[in-house]
Amino acid sequence: MPTDMETRYAIQRPFAAGCTASPHTCASIACAKPLVSLDSEEGENSLKLPVSAAPSPLDISERKETSACVQRCLDFLPDKYRAVILLHEAHSLTAPEIADLLGVTLATVKIRLHRARRGLQQVMKRGCAVSNDKLGTPTCHPKS
């Protein structure tokens, strides 16, 4: 008489019979990708490790420097222009939302936004060295 273990795992049956009991398991084993050694040389079976998407310390430093440079340039703008450009660019408010918030007309907001951008551009041309980093993102550094 077979033991409980022999019945449960069908030790006396051939391996193929066991596969019919779990076809999905056998199919997944048969179709599995080959194992790749992490120690293998560069070649067809080498494992490509993902590149980190986290910014490097240099990237973080450049972003902080750019932010500080732009902030210094914004300080040269008159308050009414600085307020509009910050609400639009930093806080993502639309022109109608800014008009409601400040109690001015939509046309006034659009004019101030245009003048703020033009003024910021002029200040940055005089006081900043603007270049692109390795990803094409503009970086700003004070002129020496």
Is 87 a domain residue?
yes
Helix, strand, or coil (residue 142): strand
What DSSP state is assigned to residue 19? H
Helix, strand, or coil (residue 77): coil
Is 70 a domain residue?
yes
Q: Which residue has the higher pLDDT, 15 or 58?
A: 58
For the chain, the distance separating the N- and C-terminal CA atoms, rounded to the nearest angstrom, is: 93
pLDDT value of residue 30: 52
Structure pTM?
A: 0.56
Domain of residue 127, residue span: 60-142
Q: Which of 72, 84, 91, 69 is nearest to 117 (CA)?
A: 84
Is the pLDDT confidence value at 92 over 90?
yes
Structure tokens at 128: 């900043």
Is 43 a domain residue?
no
Is 83 a domain residue?
yes
Is 88 a domain residue?
yes
